[in-house]
Amino acid sequence: MTALSVNINKVAVLRNSRGGVEPDVIKAARTCISAGAAGITVHPRPDQRHIRPDDVRALSTLCVDGTEFNIEGNVFAPPRDGYPGLLALVDEALPAQCTLVPDTDGQLTSDHGFDLRADFKRLRPLVAKIKSVGCRVSLFVDADCHDLELAADIGADRVEIYTGPYAHAYARGDYAQELAACLDTAERAQGVGLGVNAGHDLNQANLGAFKSAIPFLAEVSIGHALVGEALYAGLTATVQAYLKILGR
């Protein structure tokens, strides 16, 4: 079964745009969990433009009894005022999974995977540190990544395939090549003992074809599209629609 982890960053964007506490990210997460989501994903960034460290701490107490908490982030970004750094947040929150992404500080959203050859030496000790607190580690990779054995050597448990190019191709109506690249990466990752996650720009329209092509997919992390669709249909109904697509 493929797990659905709902990324609630966009709920925090709405809250932060006005100030105060509404919409409430904890209530949103609780609603997703009640609707059947297997996990909650957050991506705290150093500029705190959406999810903040205090949100991470609060959500860690909510994600219990089988609900997985997934913290994404750039492990290379140093601590600064108000942001203790990804490693410190992992130590505090003890999530089930930490997904490492190679974002820069000013990057609007994740748009590329790691260069595993270039980052191997830096990543390996950091992955070991994260795993030492009992946290599964996933590395964000492109669909044409050819160094998946390095991800295993680094110590990762899974990779998350960046699905932005697939989603954009699907919207154009010409996605066979991008889907094939995702499938090839997923099969090679599985071949070296890695679990396979996927995320970025997945939505109700394109998820079915992706899941059908990669039936052994462990998890999808979906936020932007899901929250946008929920504005029309409601959060509970939207989460349940995704679960139906995933066959859960």
pLDDT tens per residue, range 168-224: 999 999 999 999 999 999 999 999 999 999 999 999 999 999 999 999 999 999 999
Instruction: Give the mean pLDDT of the chain.
Output: 95
Both structure tokens of 32:
């997703």
In the three-class reduction of DSSP (H, G, I as helix; E, B as strand; rest coil), residue 134 is classed as coil
Query: From CA 167, how far away is CA 93, in angstroms rounded?
Result: 32
Query: From CA 67, how far away is CA 43, in angstroms rounded?
Result: 17
Both structure tokens of 244:
């139906």
Q: Please name the residue ranges forming H helices in the chain.
A: 9-18, 25-34, 53-62, 86-93, 116-131, 148-154, 164-172, 176-191, 207-213, 224-233, 235-246
Q: Within a 10 A sphere around the Cβ of 243, how many other Cβ atoms?
A: 18
Domains of the chain (ranges; CATH) run 3-243 (3.20.20.70)
* Beta carbons of 93 and 57 less than 8 angstroms apart: yes
If you ran DSSP here, which 8-state letter would residue 50 be given? S
The gap between the terminal CA atoms of the chain, to the nearest Å, is 7
Residue 146 — pLDDT band, cuts 50, 70, 90? confident
Helices and strands (H and E) in the chain: how many:
11, 8
Q: Within a 10 A sphere around the Cβ of 46, how many other Cβ atoms?
A: 20
Phi/psi of residue 9, nearest 5 degrees: -55, -45
In the three-class reduction of DSSP (H, G, I as helix; E, B as strand; rest coil), residue 6 is classed as strand
In this prediction the pTM is 0.96
What sign for the dihedral angle of Cα 166, 171, 177, 179? positive
CA distance readout (Å), 169 to 21, 57, 172, 177, 246 = 37, 37, 5, 9, 21
pLDDT tens per residue, range 119-132: 999 999 999 999 99
Query: From CA 173, how far away is CA 167, in angstroms rounded?
Result: 10
Both structure tokens of 64:
């219990």
pLDDT of residue 104: 77
Q: Within a 10 A sphere around the Cβ of 159, how many other Cβ atoms?
A: 31
Share of the chain above pLDDT 70, in %: 99
In the three-class reduction of DSSP (H, G, I as helix; E, B as strand; rest coil), residue 202 is classed as coil
What residues are labeled active site? 43, 72, 200
